[in-house]
């Protein structure tokens, strides 16, 4: 078993309740009350919102949501690009005890329909008219609200009243087969993860984060935003990622932190001004493995040793390389405070437990029975090793999940849609190593006629988010199968293919 509390100083203990805070917004409010004038959230459209302004605006918006009939425990789907308005409305939802369902802005109608029908939200927050129209077609009676919440004010409902075990987030994820399922994360889960990161990364109110990660993704929301508010720090929001904006913002915003996925670091390292990264206190990479060659390239151009960490939607953050200590390329580091980690089975699967681990999937008793061991450990589905110092290395995935550009892609979903193409007889989708994307989605097909990559991408365009589209197509005479007829995906690259 890996060492627990590896990031704590000698004699230091871990308080997963954040000094007794019962819920997320209680922990945030400590900082709002202490220094309401301090800057907290910025975007290019609205500029800076102070702590006190965020508290007041979110309270007003909580009243507006209550006037719409929303109350503690109701679910609300949020699918919008990053902005100060989105943050203020999200904070309002958390303060009044709503259960937020973050949903990818790239989802098409079929993907949105599953989340809406499964989660049964009482309202939605969307910032795109096409997405609002899609929601209207799925459920005409489901309210579609703009993130600015320009509605009639109402009496402020009870705030900071959620219990520790009350659900805060319902985040959709899935295995390699079947429909996506919702992971319920409680206030206590989110607090434990934020508190652990504050300790491990020495995250304080003096830090300023450049945040170009989307807030529908747990890297941006559960790490970037929650961590900022928990520490009383500040964050600059970007609507999308442009290397020149980040590199210029390091100086103009006096930033200390940047969190990104390997695709972002790949593009930053190639930029003429990449040396600007050297002024940051800490650069963190996650959501996919950072290639060793990219580690070295970044270090060479700016002196930064990027810190890798490891987490999942169901667990938030689990493991991290140290802020003060050796960061080992190829390793995701040491278990975070409060996290216990073990390797079990053959091949060795990473299993974890701790206050950050979710309670289970929404209305999925069978999935919950499979997700946890009889003695209460969560099965991550990832395969790993531990070295003599307790550093964790991810060596593979028991599941077939592809992580491309920081986003999860489930092969079965892509296979089902490509398989509908009239000239495709069989298809297998896998991840292929990519320095830019971490992994890129590639499809191996048995075809009854001519097929081309662009034609396949156009075929799935309206039914599948763009990050799930295949980036390479290989036409094969047959898919390799075992004696039982199961496709052996590990053999697809064994020289049996011819590019198509």
Neighbours of 114 (CB within 10 A): 16
pLDDT in tens, 369-426: 999 999 999 999 988 999 999 999 987 766 677 889 989 887 878 988 998 899 998 8
232 contacts 74 by C-beta, under 8 angstroms: no
Let me know whether 385 and 458 are in one domain: no
Q: How far is 66 from 162, CA to CA, in rounded Å?
A: 15
Let me know whether 33 and 161 are in one domain: yes
**Is residue 349 domain-resident?**
yes
Domain end among 395, 427, 461: 395
Let me know whether 409 and 384 are in one domain: no
Let me know whether 106 and 228 are in one domain: yes
The full length of the chain comes to 500
Report the greatest alpha carbon distance in the chain. Answer: 68
pLDDT of residue 500: 45
**Is residue 2 domain-resident?**
no
Q: Are strands 181-186 and 234-237 parallel, antiparallel or unpaired?
A: unpaired
**Is residue 17 domain-resident?**
no
pLDDT of residue 177: 46
Let me know whether 336 and 359 are in one domain: yes
**Is residue 360 domain-resident?**
yes
**Is residue 8 domain-resident?**
no
Let me know whether 201 and 298 are in one domain: yes
Tally of CA atoms within 13 A in the half-sphere of 258 that contains its CB: 29
**Is residue 15 domain-resident?**
no
pLDDT of residue 483: 46
Let me know whether 312 and 292 are in one domain: yes
Element at 474 (helix H, strand E): strand 472-475
380 contacts 439 by C-beta, under 8 angstroms: no
Let me know whether 64 and 93 are in one domain: yes
Let me know whether 388 and 469 are in one domain: no
pLDDT in tens, 146-182: 999 999 999 999 999 999 999 999 999 854 445 789 9
pLDDT of residue 486: 65
Q: Tally the domains of the chain.
A: 2
Let me know whether 436 and 328 are in one domain: no
DSSP 279-309: G-SEEEE-SSPPPHHHHHHHHHHH---PEEE
Domain end among 395, 415, 440: 395
**Is residue 245 domain-resident?**
yes
What CATH number should be reported for the domain holding residue 278?
3.40.50.12780
pLDDT of residue 109: 92
Let me know whether 341 and 437 are in one domain: no
**Is residue 172 domain-resident?**
yes
pLDDT of residue 173: 85
Q: Which residues in the chain land under pLDDT 50?
A: 1-2, 175-177, 483-484, 495-500
Question: Which pair of structure tokens corresponds to residue 48?
Answer: 């800076």
Of 182, 94, 162, 119, the closest CA to residue 364 belongs to 182
Q: Residue 417's domain spans which residues?
A: 402-499
What does residue 271 show for φ and ψ, rounded to 5 degrees? -75, 150
Let me know whether 272 and 412 are in one domain: no
What CATH number should be reported for the domain holding residue 486?
3.30.300.30
């Amino acid at each position: 078993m890996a060492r627990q509390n590896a990031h704590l100083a000698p004699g230091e203990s871990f308080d997963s309740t954040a000094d007794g805070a019962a819920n997320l917004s209680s922990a945030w409010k400590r900082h709002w009350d202490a220094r309401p004038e301090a800057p907290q959230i910025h975007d290019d459209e609205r500029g800076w919102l102070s702590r006190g302004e965020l508290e007041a605006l979110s309270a007003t918006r909580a009243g507006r949501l209550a006037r719409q009939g929303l109350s503690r425990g109701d679910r609300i789907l949020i699918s919008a690009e990053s902005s100060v308005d989105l943050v203020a409305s999200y904070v309002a939802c958390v303060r009044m005890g709503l259960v937020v369902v973050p949903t990818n802005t790239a989802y098409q109608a079929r993907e949105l329909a599953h989340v809406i029908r499964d989660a049964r939200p009482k309202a939605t927050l969307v910032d795109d008219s096409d997405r609002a129209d899609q929601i209207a077609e799925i459920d005409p009676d489901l309210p579609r609200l703009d993130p600015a919440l320009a509605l009639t004010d109402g009496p402020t409902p009870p705030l900071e009243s959620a219990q520790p075990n009350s659900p805060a987030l319902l985040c959709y994820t899935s295995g390699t087969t079947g429909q996506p399922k919702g992971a319920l994360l409680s206030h206590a889960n989110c607090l434990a993860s934020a508190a652990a990161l504050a300790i491990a990364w020495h995250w304080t109110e003096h830090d300023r984060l450049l945040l170009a990660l989307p807030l529908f993704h747990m890297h941006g929301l559960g790490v970037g935003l929650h961590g900022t508010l928990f520490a009383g720090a500040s964050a600059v929001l970007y609507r999308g990622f442009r290397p020149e904006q980040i590199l210029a913002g390091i100086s103009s915003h006096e930033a200390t932190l940047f969190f990104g996925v390997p695709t972002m670091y790949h593009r930053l390292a190639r930029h003429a001004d990449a040396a600007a990264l050297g002024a940051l206190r800490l650069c963190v990479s996650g959501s996919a493995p950072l290639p060793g060659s990219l580690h070295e390239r970044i270090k060479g151009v700016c002196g930064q040793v990027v810190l890798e960490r490891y987490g999942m939607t169901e667990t938030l953050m689990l493991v991290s390389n140290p802020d003060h200590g050796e960061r080992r390329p190829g390793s995701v580091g040491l278990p975070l405070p409060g996290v216990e980690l073990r390797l079990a089975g053959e091949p060795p699967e990473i299993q974890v437990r701790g206050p950050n681990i979710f309670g289970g999937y929404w209305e999925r008793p069978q999935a919950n029975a499979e997700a946890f061991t009889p003695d209460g450990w969560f099965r991550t589905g990832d395969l790993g090793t531990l070295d003599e110092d307790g550093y964790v290395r991810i060596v593979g995935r028991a599941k077939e999940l592809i992580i491309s550009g920081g986003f999860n892609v489930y092969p079965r979903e892509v296979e089902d849609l490509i398989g509908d193409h009239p000239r495709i007889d069989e298809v297998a989708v896998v991840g292929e190593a990519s320095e830019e994307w971490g992994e890129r989605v590639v499809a191996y097909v048995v075809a009854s006629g001519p097929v081309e990559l662009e034609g396949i991408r156009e075929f799935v365009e309206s039914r599948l988010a763009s990050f799930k589209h295949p980036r390479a197509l290989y036409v094969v005479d047959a898919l390799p199968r075992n004696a039982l007829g199961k496709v052996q995906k590990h053999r697809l690259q064994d020289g049996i293919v011819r590019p198509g």
